[in-house]
Structure 1
Amino acid sequence: MIIKSKLSIAVFCLAFSAVSAQVKDTLAEKMMIYQLPNGGWGKHMSDKKDVDYRKKIDPKLLKIIKANDNNLATIDNNATSREINGLIKAYGTTKNPAYLKSAEKGIEYLLSMQYENGGFPQYFPNTSVYRKQVTYNDNAMINVLTILYNISEGKEGFDAVNSQLKDKSKVALQKGIACVLKTQVQQKGKLSIWADQYNEVTLVPEKARAFEPMSLATGESVNIVKFLMMQPLTPEIEKSIRSAIQWFKESKIDGYTYNVSKESDKAVRTLSKKEGSAVWARFYDIPTNKPVFGDRDGSVKFNYEDVSEERRMGYSWYNESGTKLIENEFPKWLKRNKLMQ
């Protein structure tokens, strides 16, 4: 009787496990449907708007995916990293093996696109215009490196990833960190912060779209520093972080704030005075360290008011992200590593 009871419990557990493995997550199901043959994901729907997994499946986009258009695969605008993170999270909740398999295919795609110098292009295999550049813009490369870090450390549910991918991710992570340290821009022999994008061979900063001139990028650099703060302390990493923090301190614009509001479904961006507040321009000219602004026609301006209204309202030209980095993140990092100010 006891034997039968134990057997019944075992059978029930197996049956329950089988059912649990097939539990479905609506968002994860859509992510799998939109995954391209090479394992990556595109960033746009057929109407050129960012993919929104809360909406119904887009038949036009499905036709593109079925056409095996791998050139759409990108890490821009959180594409591919968002899906991998989402699928890993869904697997953790449902234990549906299909989600883990899809995420691992996405990770394999990320590993396949890394350059030998450790950098990651914005698109792969699409190499047209600026898509082949090593890209920090919109946190593209840092999003990828964060995934590789989580795989290597077994964090955020990535402990479920197979051991072969873990080993490859550890190697790719170290190559990526080396690239980050190598691409920190020097100004007159002094380390500053990072540019938006770099030549994939020479690792020299380059321009991208017409309104994205070759320049230092503050918002992306804040996240690069935060990523470096997650890594084991080395003399190179300490020097990199301290140098970037010093640059942010010296380059802030005191007494201003930057607000974004909406009027009639249009973004209204306003730079205004505010005592006790500070902002940084999105871009800084590398030789002069002056705020720089690119316009739709490819021209470069050094005065915000000279930028066309369409670009002033259509792009975020200032941010306040350096404040938290300097006042909160940096002191915590110093304390955690028992370092002096």
Structure 2
Amino acid sequence: MKTKSIKFRYFRIVFVLFALVGSYYPTVAQEKEYQAIDLRPFRSSAGHWYGIKDNSNVINPLPEKPQYKANEITKIADNVLLFQRNNGGWPKNYDMQAILTKEQREKVLRAKNEDHTTFDNSTGFSHINYLAEVYAQTKIEKYKKACFLGIDFVLKAQYNNGGWPQYYPLEKVDYSQRITFNDGAYMGIMKLLQAILDKDPKYDFVSEKTFKKVDSAYKKGLECLLAMQIELIGKPTVWCQQHDEVDLSPAWARAFEPPSICNGESVEVVLFLMNIEQPDAQIISAVQNAVKWFSDSRIYNTRVEMFKAEPMESKYKTVTIDKKVVTDESAPPIWTRFYELGSGRPLFCDRNSKFLYSLAEVSRERRAGYGWYTYAPQEVLDKYPDWQKKWAPEQNVLKQ
């Protein structure tokens, strides 16, 4: 009887211990199910991490590329917190879904004090939006705190003229200081500020003090945006990938990204302006001029064909494809990414910054590895009729 009593007490103690441990460390079955949050805004950075060799990375991806599931939002959010630097910003080109090893996490933690933070490749504003979504579902305070830190970073990074640099804090004197539309940087920030001002439910935690700062930043950003619209022979067109941070003129970005009229990046700008309710005369004029330019700069009977080619090693990756322009009378309208300032001619460039006027002249590495043509302006032209009827009923620029 004594032995049975001891065994009974032993099993009871073990059962209680398991119950206590379980209350602090729930099993997978006990973990709360959350709704998945859109991860597409992180794709650009993740794609660069996996696809481009960069020895400056704090960590590099594992060969098997393990990832959290989309509904494991707190684990992904913890990665977002892990990569957030102490200044409130984020470095680019890492995968927030990646399941990291202990060694990788320790390396990222050791880089917390570094200031190499950016808005490039949808960095920063996408992380803030994700954390706000996670906080809305979980009400876990650390995600809200990180949001505030990120919003403060965005506000501090704004130039006095209303624009934002590609990198903040400012680094060496190069294109990283330019006001940047490339990869959605400027408009990603503006959409973040607009969501806060529109009282998006996921930002209902924003204080009145922060709200006023956001309102001021948004107004300055919109004023700067309108001031940068490029003129060609006295007529406003659209925008450049990057603009000078002092005089707002079109500026060089990378060696193959010249000062030019940039149709691809400008589409997001025009769609943003078209979505503004009760637009004033300046906004209406900016949209009308941009739509007219998109219409006039269409290229017909042209298609870009991609095909497999002999592998070629470059400094950045192994190139296994090539591209060529072909004539195709059935092809929809297409636009080049760049149009030359002054002449309005379709423009191409190479890593030596030499101006070229056909895709065939571009070296294979750049020809195959860059988006020289775009169909994006068609979205603006498709949405214009409804916008025009609502806000400019007496002036249809597509019928002029």
Q: TM-score range by the shorter chain?
A: 0.7 to 0.9
When structure 1 is superposed on structure 2, of 106-115 and 275-284 the one drifting more is 275-284
Note the 1:8-157 alignment, pairs <5 A: 25-43=74-92, 50-57=93-100, 59=103, 63=107, 66-128=110-172, 129-155=174-200, 157=202
Distance of aligned partners of 1:314 and 1:92 in 2 relative to their CA distance in 1, 3 Å threshold: same
Note the 1:1-341 alignment, pairs <5 A: 25-43=74-92, 50-57=93-100, 59=103, 63=107, 66-128=110-172, 129-155=174-200, 157-231=202-276, 232-258=278-304, 266=320, 268-272=322-326, 273-327=328-382, 329-337=383-391, 339-340=393-394, 341=396
Distance of aligned partners of 1:61 and 1:199 in 2 relative to their CA distance in 1, 3 Å threshold: farther
In the TM superposition, what is the alpha-carbon distance from 1:174 to its structure 2 partner? 0.6
In the TM superposition, what is the alpha-carbon distance from 1:69 to its structure 2 partner? 4.6
In 2, the alpha carbon distance for the partners of 1:191 and 1:151 equals 30
5+ long unaligned stretches in structure 2: 1-30, 33-71, 312-318
In 1, the alpha carbon distance for the partners of 2:299 and 2:109 equals 46
Distance of aligned partners of 1:267 and 1:118 in 2 relative to their CA distance in 1, 3 Å threshold: farther
In the TM superposition, what is the alpha-carbon distance from 1:242 to its structure 2 partner? 0.2
Deviation per CA, 1:259-295: give whole Å up to 9, x if none: 6678898555454425150111011111111111110
In the TM superposition, what is the alpha-carbon distance from 1:75 to its structure 2 partner? 0.3
Q: Determine helix, strand or coil for the equivalent of 2:301.
A: strand
Distance of aligned partners of 1:133 and 1:26 in 2 relative to their CA distance in 1, 3 Å threshold: same
When normalised by structure 2's length, the TM-score is 0.73
Aligned to 2:316: none
In 2, the alpha carbon distance for the partners of 1:230 and 1:158 equals 20
CA contact (8 A) 2:240 2:262 kept: yes
Aligned to 1:11: none
5+ long unaligned stretches in structure 1: 1-18, 44-49
In the TM superposition, what is the alpha-carbon distance from 1:96 to its structure 2 partner? 1.6
Distance of aligned partners of 1:134 and 1:255 in 2 relative to their CA distance in 1, 3 Å threshold: same
Q: What percent identity do the matched residue pairs reach?
A: 32
When normalised by structure 1's length, the TM-score is 0.85
CA contact (8 A) 2:131 2:144 kept: yes
Deviation per CA, 1:200-237: give whole Å up to 9, x if none: 11111111111111111111100000111122310000
Provide the aligned C-alpha RMSD in A. 2.4
- Pick the structure with greater CA Rg: 2
Moved over 4 A (4+): 58-62, 259-270
In the TM superposition, what is the alpha-carbon distance from 1:57 to its structure 2 partner? 2.7
Deviation per CA, 1:3-48: give whole Å up to 9, x if none: xxxxxxxxxxxxxxxx98xx961111110011011100010xxxxx
Deviation per CA, 1:123-171: give whole Å up to 9, x if none: 0013321111111111211100110111111126223322222111111
When structure 1 is superposed on structure 2, of 258-267 and 77-86 the one drifting more is 258-267
CA contact (8 A) 2:335 2:374 kept: yes
When structure 1 is superposed on structure 2, of 162-171 and 182-191 the one drifting more is 162-171
In 2, the alpha carbon distance for the partners of 1:242 and 1:278 equals 20
Q: Determine helix, strand or coil for the equivalent of 1:284.
A: strand
Letter in 2 for 1:139: G
CA contact (8 A) 1:283 1:317 kept: yes
In 2, the alpha carbon distance for the partners of 1:41 and 1:100 equals 16
CA contact (8 A) 2:274 2:387 kept: yes
In the TM superposition, what is the alpha-carbon distance from 1:101 to its structure 2 partner? 1.4
